[in-house]
């Protein structure tokens, strides 16, 4: 049998040994090359890590990180009346951001936020490929964590080194913090345009509501802004903002965050904004006094970056009443004196389309006064613009000017002054306004609580945007006959006169250091022998000068200083008629002494200041001064009540409330004052021009200032129906009663320095030269 031999491997594959040897050699070379490349890559990466990590911040800093916060100013009821900040931000917790907002942000900015470890390699590769293929650096692939690391620690430069550092930081952040913590940091830090940072502040600014109350459409608007807050601003570019919002809604739909029905309903809605601008416009002069005080005591950085909480004495309702009363009073004055014209026209200086008046940054409401741009004029109407509103001025709105048609007094490009009667309920409709006038007259008002000295309202001028000069605290003006209470106080407190005395009102020549002085009365008449109360109530000049001469003008000046008047008053007899220059701030504080049984409480702006965490930085208490005896104070209240009951201020009887006060009018009617009080509140009002210029004939304190005081006091006395003044004869016999009252109101041992911003802290304008004899009204 034939034996078959099995073929050997060499027979079947004669070349196999040679191929195997060559392959092994090739594989070895490839592996060696790959090892070299890998080593080089690892070395390069290590080198890059060393190079780019040397300047990286410590992630541990985030554990104590707090972004710049807004310093908020509160009134006596906890309402926000102002704020200071470099960045407008409200620091919120994770729970403050509703799920709909979190879903909107992650859907458009970082779909895999809940799953990745800080970077998304797929997105980075795709963005890199598009950058290379388009030869640009326009594609972004940053996760929320990478955006956070860039916003907190890095620059916005578009280069490889910054991107590498961004990724490294993102990885470290993800290792040290939870997703909730990372989202919270991001949501508080992100810029949303118009100086607003963070979704909590963005919700308040754009929609006037807390973030918790956002709708799907509103959440989508906010989520659209991180990509480019300026480009997609719903204020500046509403159409782009609408398109971007709808893109966010589509992304949410794709991710299953909302239903198709929700998406369609939200996309059908317009973007409706309820802008909440800075609240400093409510009491701008008061808030400015607060700012100056805080910066002086704590420094600008602390005030504008660290989120102080400042609890003031102001009352929001009283402040609004004060502002409306002051501006309404000026409007009545302006109408009494007719249309003067001389309106500024902006056509030659800038295009009408781009004009923005400083007034327009403030929110407006019916009853407010604002400057408006005249867009066009015809014989039957004039169309004006203020902020986002337009209005039509009809012939009936200008009737008080004595002209028939708007075209008689208005021209396109004029800046008119109007009062807002009503605002439209729906966008696109016209507002209702009346034409008013701003001839340059100014006003100041200040009100304090008699018991505590708390400043409850302050108006420093007609328009803070036009002039930041505070006429309540800085303007030294002649006070006219509102100085006379110091004259009579000196006489009564020194027992020189009593309520039962009579004074002869007759032509008299007084011998003074400057020679013979023969003054007259306001009406040019002399009333003969008068009871003290009648002479005072009707502000007769001759009796006041006789009282001052009898008690001694230096004694009168000493008493004025005891009341807190810091002005340098020359010892001349005409000072008794009010030629001294005093601020409204000091006059108001001084007058509060009368209803306070002779105790003057220093005006107080601030009750308490805390840091952002609630730790008390300062706390202030009423600071009191004993000025005159209680019997003298009550006697003066009787005299000051007589001014209202039978003298120069009987218009105040319409209040049907116990009040007292005194008018003041200076020569040529340049200054009009009314200083008055109820048992609980003292308020002072001044009207005039900044320059020494007449208000016009018969513009006395009773004519120009008293109506403003009455309108304000209508609000201030609400709910105080049962209060009344104590009478001199009701004074208790206990001799140390007032001492006990003083001790009860003084700060306790160890308390913070009392007073807050006091008269000494308020800057004063330089006094005007010369002193003129003042009128008696």
Tell me if residue 729 is catalytic: no
Q: Which residues of 507-523 are buried (b: 16+ CB within 10 A; e: fewer)?
A: ebebeeeeeebebebbe
Please tell me which residue in 142, 149, 203, 481 is annotated as part of the active site: 481
**Kind and range of the H or E run holding 662:** strand 660-665
E strand segments, 428-483: 432-436, 442-449, 455-459, 477-478
Q: Are 632 and 589 in contact (CB under 8 A)?
A: no
Q: Are 412 and 377 in contact (CB under 8 A)?
A: yes
Tell me if residue 180 is catalytic: no
Calpha distance 452→739 (Å, rounded): 17
Residue 611 exposed, middle or buried by CB count within 10 Å (0-12, 13-18, 19+): middle
**Kind and range of the H or E run holding 639:** helix 630-646
Calpha distance 381→319 (Å, rounded): 35
Calpha distance 368→167 (Å, rounded): 53
Calpha distance 497→531 (Å, rounded): 11
* Four-residue CA torsion sign, 548, 550, 553, 558: negative
Calpha distance 392→761 (Å, rounded): 46
572: how many CB neighbours lie within 10 A of its CB? 16
> 711 phi and psi, to 5 degrees?
-60, -40
Whose structure tokens read 């929110």?
363
Q: Which residues of 620-640 are buried (b: 16+ CB within 10 A; e: fewer)?
A: bbbbbeebbebebbbbbbbbb
**Kind and range of the H or E run holding 625:** strand 624-626
Please tell me which residue in 72, 109, 581, 586 is annotated as part of the active site: 109
Q: Are 698 and 680 in contact (CB under 8 A)?
A: no
- Report the alpha-carbon angle 393-398-400, nearest 5: 160
Residue by residue, what is the 3-state secondary structure of 21-81? HHHHHHHHHHHHHHHHHHHHHHHHHHHHHHHHHCCCCCHHHHHHCCCCECEEEECCCCCEE
Contacts of 15 (CB under 8 A, 6+ apart): none
The residue among 568, 369, 378, 353 whose CA lies nearest residue 464 is 369
The set of catalytic residues is: 109, 481
């Amino acid at each position: 049998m034939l034996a078959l031999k099995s073929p050997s491997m060499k027979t079947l594959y004669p070349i196999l040994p040679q191929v195997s040897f060559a392959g092994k050699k090739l594989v070895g070379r490839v592996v060696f090359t790959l090892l070299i490349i890998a080593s080089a890559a690892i070395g390069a990466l290590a080198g890059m890590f060393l190079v780019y990590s040397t300047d990286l911040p410590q992630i541990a800093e985030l554990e104590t990180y707090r972004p710049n916060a807004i310093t908020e100013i509160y009134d006596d009821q906890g309402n926000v009346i102002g704020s200071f900040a470099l960045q407008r931000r409200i620091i919120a917790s994770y729970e403050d951001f509703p799920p709909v907002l979190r879903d909107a942000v992650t859907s458009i900015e970082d779909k895999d936020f809940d799953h990745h470890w800080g970077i998304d390699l797929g997105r980075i590769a795709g963005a890199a490929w598009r950058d290379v293929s388009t030869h640009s650096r326009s594609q972004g692939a940053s996760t929320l964590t990478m955006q956070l690391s860039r916003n907190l620690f890095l620059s916005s430069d578009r280069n490889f080194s910054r991107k590498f550092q961004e990724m490294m930081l993102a990885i470290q952040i993800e290792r040290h913090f939870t997703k909730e913590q990372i989202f919270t940091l991001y949501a508080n830090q992100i810029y949303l345009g118009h100086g607003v940072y963070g979704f909590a502040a963005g919700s308040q600014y754009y929609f006037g509501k807390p973030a918790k109350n956002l709708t799907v459409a509103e959440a989508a608007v906010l989520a659209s802004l991180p990509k480019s807050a300026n480009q997609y601003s719903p204020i500046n570019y509403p159409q782009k903002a609408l398109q971007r919002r709808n893109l966010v809604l589509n992304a949410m739909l794709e991710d299953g965050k909302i239903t198709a029905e929700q998406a369609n309903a939200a996309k059908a809605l317009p973007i409706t904004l309820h802008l909440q601008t800075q609240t400093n416009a409510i009491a701008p002069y008061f808030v400015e006094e607060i700012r100056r005080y805080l910066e002086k005591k704590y420094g600008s950085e602390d005030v504008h970056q660290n989120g102080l909480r400042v609890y003031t004495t102001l009352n929001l309702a009283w402040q609004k009443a004060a502002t409306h009363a002051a501006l309404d009073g000026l409007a009545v004055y302006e109408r009494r004196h007719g249309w003067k014209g001389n309106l500024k026209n902006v056509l030659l200086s800038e295009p009408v389309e781009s004009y923005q008046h400083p007034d327009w940054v403030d929110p407006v409401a019916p009853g407010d006064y604002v400057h408006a741009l005249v867009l066009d004029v015809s014989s039957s109407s004039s169309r004006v613009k203020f902020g986002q509103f337009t209005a039509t001025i009809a012939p009936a709105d200008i009737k008080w000017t004595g002209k028939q048609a708007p075209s008689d007094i208005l021209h396109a490009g004029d800046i008119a002054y109007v009062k807002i009667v009503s605002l439209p309920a729906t966008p696109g409709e016209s507002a209702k306004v009346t034409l008013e006038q701003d001839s340059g007259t100014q006003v100041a008002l200040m009100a304090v609580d008699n018991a505590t000295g708390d400043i409850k309202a302050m108006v420093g001028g007609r328009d803070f945007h036009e002039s930041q000069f505070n006429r309540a605290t800085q303007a030294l003006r002649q006070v006219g006959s509102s100085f006379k209470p110091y004259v009579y106080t000196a006489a009564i407190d020194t027992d020189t006169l009593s309520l039962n005395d009579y004074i002869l009102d007759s032509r008299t020549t007084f011998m003074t250091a400057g020679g013979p002085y023969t003054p007259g009365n306001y009406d040019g008449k002399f009333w003969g022998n008068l009871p003290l109360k009648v002479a005072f109530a009707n502000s007769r000049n001759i009796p006041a000068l006789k009282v001052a001469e009898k008690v001694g003008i230096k004694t009168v000046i000493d008493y004025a200083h005891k009341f807190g008047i810091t002005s340098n008053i020359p010892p001349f007899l005409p000072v008794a008629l009010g030629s001294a220059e005093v601020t409204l701030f000091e006059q108001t504080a001084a007058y509060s002494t009368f209803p306070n049984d002779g105790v003057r409480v220093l005006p107080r702006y601030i009750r308490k200041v805390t840091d952002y965490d609630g730790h008390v930085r300062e706390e202030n208490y009423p600071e009191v001064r004993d000025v005159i005896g209680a019997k003298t104070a009550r006697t003066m209240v009787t005299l000051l009540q007589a001014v209202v009951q039978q003298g120069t201020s009987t218009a105040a009887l319409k209040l049907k409330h116990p009040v007292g006060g005194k008018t003041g009018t200076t020569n040529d009617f340049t200054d009009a004052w009314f200083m008055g009080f109820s048992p609980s509140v003292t308020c002072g009002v001044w009207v005039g021009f900044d320059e020494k210029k007449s208000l016009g004939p018969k513009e006395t304190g009773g004519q120009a200032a008293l109506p403003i005081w009455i309108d304000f006091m209508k609000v201030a006395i609400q709910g105080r129906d049962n209060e009344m003044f104590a009478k001199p004869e009701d004074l208790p016999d206990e001799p140390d009663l007032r001492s006990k009252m003083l001790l009860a109101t003084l700060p306790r041992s160890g308390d913070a320095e009392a007073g807050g911003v006091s008269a000494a802290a308020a800057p004063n304008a330089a006094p005007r030269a010369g002193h003129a004899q003042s009128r008696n009204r």
